[in-house]
Chain A
């Protein structure tokens, strides 16, 4: 199981997941603002 507090490697992988979520949130906001 991924645990960001176990090692630098895991912490870095969690960072990548957070970036992916961040990109999705921004994309959704940009799309919603264009539509609404």
Chain B
């Protein structure tokens, strides 16, 4: 027993490891990336549920879209779409900048991405305030507010994450060798952007 504990201590003395043992790593994918992958898969399912409601009332029920007597602000939403797409480009600029060691590009890219995201959310809230119908008016309006609101909530969460990355960028974090903290939120933001393109196409165009 004593010999075993001495051997155990000797085994540990040879390693330069402090604190708890490393977590079991059963995947070849890095944990932060794997977490984001699983999260986005669950997000796709949530959006899928809302799109099911949308297609149910339009195809199974055959209801007109939008509801009679209502009008969706398609041009404003198109401008908003372009703003959100631009934010993905600025985010990609930030990511490529830090890979090359360009700190100015990282900071400017992150800040402009955050501001573009804020603009998108501001325009959407303004659209809600002036659209002229409420979620309880028709099934179509419920779906409209649900789909765009679900996406808006994702933009809000994304903005909190982007703010954290931006603050860290201005504080001198990240380097060409260590930029996972920009990479993983970037995947989430591009996902939110792609989801908006799908939401915009189905809600405003189709």
Contacts and interface: CB of A to CB of B under 8 A. Distances in A.
Interface residues of B, number: 24
B194 interface: yes
**Majority SS at the chain B contact face:** helix
B74 to A, nearest CB: 11
Contacts of A9: 92, 95
A10 to B, nearest CB: 8
Interface string A9-33: 1011011001100100110010000
B194 A7 contact: no
Interface string B75-101: 000000000010010011001000000
**Majority SS at the chain A contact face:** helix
Contacts of B191: 4, 11
Contacts of A8: 91-92, 95, 182-184, 186-187, 190
Contact of A15 (B37, B183, B193, B200): B193
B88 A12 contact: yes
Interface of B: 33, 36-37, 40, 85, 88, 91-92, 95, 182-184, 186-187, 190-191, 193-194, 197-198, 200-201, 205-206
13 contacts: A5-B33, A5-B187, A7-B33, A8-B92, A8-B95, A11-B187, A12-B91, A12-B95, A12-B190, A14-B190, A18-B198, A22-B200, A25-B205
Interface of A: 4-9, 11-12, 14-15, 18-19, 22, 25-26, 29
